Amino acid sequence: MIGRLLLGKESHFGAYSDIDGLPLVVDLDDTLLRTDTLYESFAAVLFKKPLSAARALVELRRGRPAFKSALCAEGLLDVQSLPINEELVEYLERQKSGGREIHLVSAAAQTIVDAVADRFDLFDSSPGSSYARNLKGSVKAAYLQSLFPQGFVYAGDSRADLAVWREAGAAVLVGTSNAVSRKAEGYTKIEARFDGISASTKDWRQLFRLHQWSKNALIFVALFLGHAYGDPSAWLSVIAGFVFFSITASGTYVLNDLADLSSDRRHATKRERPMAAGRIPLRLGMTAAFATIGFGLIGMLALGAIPFLLTLFYLAITLSYSFRFKTAAMLDVLILASLYTIRIILGAELADVVLSDWLLVFSMFFFLSLSMAKRYVEVVKAASETKIRGRGYSGADAVLLLNFGIATCSCAVFTVCMYLLEAAFPSNAYSTPQLLWIAVLSIALWSMRIWLLAARGELDDDPVAFAVKDRKSLFLGIIAALGVGGAILF
């Protein structure tokens, strides 16, 4: 909501009857944009050219301008997709239509400021920082005083802007804290206020993908199939492993969002993700990612060296996927399938049971099929694109993914059938192994339904997340569990 206030107070340039006549100077980061271009630039370079990001960090010893210049030299920031403050832009457009001068002045690097200014038909000038001058705080205030000796109105957001508001004819407050707002009111008139957007509990849940913790239930698979469900120590170990692994995985989801910012912002639904939309600042996202990963790894180390190494291996594969292999067609889905299988192997180690080779083969085929279903849906939705942004596929690959996905699904069902005939029935592990066919039929029916919905365009991007919310999928899961339970107990 926008509130426009005029306080009857003289500015440092005298009493103006119409402060709208003064040039309006607008800050860039967290004002015109709902994000900070410095963190955006660093994230873009970090995930595409990590060595260049490391070299840029070394440049910090020469100061922030040198750091900014090193990042901008890579030219990886997708300026056109950066989230904007729509309400402020509408206000600027009204002021511009009334003949008011509007200038974009920012501490961001000049190349970025120019690129943002080109995105809007609003600004009369757009000076930014150079290697020798960082337009922030008192430096920006002095610069604006020399540029607009008749006075100016300044739109900003942070404590650093107080030095500018002290010299301004009026202020436009954009998402400022209460403390900063009170100080700004003591310095100058308030021309307009724009409320900022803050992250809700739902945003943080979405950022950490708490709903994706359901995937980590695979850690419990070996506990049941290895018949260790009667061992309390195994339960404690697996539950603790589930928690610490899930926390680590949540951190990787945040890193994945950071790596996918540009493509997410151009996606029909993913552009509403918390960091992509600017509701959670990138600096907080980065901090949260490394904090959760570190905490999770420490917890896994407490459970043992092998669980820690398996989690570290999972982390390495996930990061290699985010940094490099996400755009490698077919290899990307193979990596996703392996991440599911690692969860099962980790569960076996935590429960101290021996895994069946049949289970590992089934797992790879089954989750390879689901990964292809996820990609198939994405490709179909973007079928008109020659090359899908952020992926290694084009619209023409949909038929290929459909065929491979159904084939690997069939291989998974065939593998579990062979397991029953070759291993489960001859063994004495089950009281009534024939009841396992109920689980097999449930798995087959669910898999066929997933591909039916995918072919109809009715499947969400992620089949696993879809299954958790879908009543029919949950029903089939319960039937499968009853089949396995019955085979053990009766």
pTM: 0.82
The per-residue pLDDT of the chain, averaged, comes to 89
Confidence check: pLDDT of 227 > 90:
no
Q: Mean per-residue pLDDT for 230-255?
A: 95
Confidence check: pLDDT of 374 > 60:
yes
Convert the pLDDT of each residue in 401-459 to its tens digit. Answer: 999 999 999 999 999 999 899 888 888 878 888 999 999 999 999 999 999 999 888 88
Domains and CATH numbers, the chain: 2-35+82-194 (3.40.50.1000), 198-355 (1.10.357.140), 360-490 (no CATH)
3-state SS string over the chain?
CEECCCCCCCECCECCCCHHHCCEEECHHHHHECCCHHHHHHHHHHHHCHHHHHHHHHHHHHCHHHHHHHHHCCCCCCHHHCCECHHHHHHHHHHHHCCCCEEECCCCEHHHHHHHHHHCCCCCECCCECCCCCCCCHHHHHHHHHHCCCCCEEEECCHHHHHHHCCCCEEEEECCCHHHHHHHHHHCEEEEEECCCCCCHHHHHHHCCHHHHHHHHHHHHHHHHCCCCCCHHHHHHHHHHHHHHHHHHHHHHHHHHHHCHHHHHCCCCHHHCCCCCCCCCHHHHHHHHHHHHHHHHHHHHHHCHHHHHHHHHHHHHHHHHHHCHHHCCCHHHHHHHHHHHHHHHHHHHHHCCCCCHHHHHHHHHHHHHHHHHHHHHHHHHCCCCCCCCCCCCCHHHHHHHHHHHHHHHHHHHHHHHHHHHHHHCCCCCCCCHHHHHHHHHHHHHHHHHHHHHHHHCCCCCCHHHHHHHCHHHHHHHHHHHHHHHHHHHC
Confidence of residue 461 (pLDDT cuts 50, 70, 90): low
Whole-number pLDDT of residue 198:
82
pLDDT more than 70, % of the chain: 94
